[in-house]
Amino acid sequence: MTTTPAASAGEPSATAATAFRGRIGSDVRSGHYPVPHRYRLYLSPSCPHCLGIALTHSLLDLGDTLPVTLLPAVPDTPDCGYAALRPLYEASAHQYRGPATVPVLSDDWTGRIVSTHAPDILRDLAERFGTRGPALYPAADRDAIDALAHRCEQGINQAAQLAGRLGSDHSGYETALDTLLGTLASLERRLADRPYLLGPELTAADVQLWVTLVQLDTVHRWHLDAAAVQRIAGHRRLWSYARRLAARPAFGRHLDLDAIARRHHARCQGREAAGAAVQIVDWTTAHTPGRHVSPAPH
């Protein structure tokens, strides 16, 4: 199976890469069963998929169970991959020619990749290793969590990317922007009577939405006009929720704004728009413990 990674607005897409889709099973018959210290994560702080996995790893307190190797913010090969991961990819797929990208969940026992598919990795961490943290993927909410993740990807990430690629002078810009704003409004209404997307407890849906909102403010707005960013920022309840989560140590300590900026500017080929100057959240103070955070001035 192959996939083409989604690119940020203005970024070139990486060469289509083999998607390794192994799963961590519940018993020895699965081949990959949950054993402490058997598996390793390779993550980069600049990648939104890696950010979600890093948050999940911290929320579940897996530091003593599943080690993490951090890679630089900016990939170091022409195909947007990492030279350090090349031997692992080549050991896992005969004559592998695609980019050696993150995230990666590997099996240290075999020296091969288990998975590069972020949603599967997130679910396996929560279901197979998550014994000490919150129930991020409870059985009763699985369909709702998956539906919200799909909404974040389609209605926010892809809509913002499309608007950024088209530019405000294109006829399709407003259509993409309407999709984005409609999705934000729907999520804003959902949070009107509850602290988290599915009720009183944090779940994987909140991890996904928070990462999506960070990406929207730190990357996508660079390619939107100022009026659009002002309308995005108008969803006050949603951004207050994002700041509240950023104040939690498991979230805030993984937010590397410099890494995100370096990755974006190293790869981006899109036109910078006026929205770049309209910061929605001051993320540098959002995760400072005990400090009151207001929206960034508009």
pLDDT in tens, 213-249: 999 999 999 999 999 999 999 999 999 999 999 999 9
**Cβ proximity of 44 and 104 under 8 Å:** no
Residue ranges per domain, the chain?
A: 2-129, 139-286
Tokens coding 147: 């539906």
pLDDT at 284: 84
pLDDT at 183: 98
pLDDT at 293: 34
Residue 126 has pLDDT above 90, yes or no: yes
Residue 298 has pLDDT above 50, yes or no: no
- The pLDDT tens digits for 65-100 are 999 999 999 999 999 999 999 999 999 999 999 999
Residue 3 has pLDDT above 90, yes or no: no
Question: Distances from the Cα of 102 to the Cαs of 17, 74, 105, 228, 283, in angstroms?
Answer: 11, 11, 9, 31, 24
pLDDT at 18: 54
The torsion angle over the Cα atoms of residues 87, 93, 99 and 103, rounded to 10 degrees, is -80
The class that CATH gives domain 2-129 is alpha beta
- The pLDDT tens digits for 4-45 are 334 444 444 333 445 799 999 977 777 898 999 999 999 998
pTM for this structure?
A: 0.89
Determine the Cα–Cα distance for residues 86 and 225; give it in Å rounded to an integer.
Answer: 39
Whether the CA torsion 113, 119, 122, 127 is positive or negative: it is negative
Mean pLDDT of 174-200: 97
pLDDT at 133: 83
pLDDT at 295: 37
Please give the CATH number for the structural domain made up of 139-286: 1.20.1050.10
Mean pLDDT of 132-159: 95
Determine the Cα–Cα distance for residues 136 and 156; give it in Å rounded to an integer.
Answer: 22
What angle do the packed helices 204-218 and 257-267 form, to 10 degrees? 60
- The pLDDT tens digits for 261-278 are 999 988 787 788 888 889
- The pLDDT tens digits for 274-292 are 888 898 999 987 654 433 3
Quick one: what percent of the chain has pLDDT higher than 90? 78
Strands 39-43 and 104-107, bridge-based pairing = antiparallel
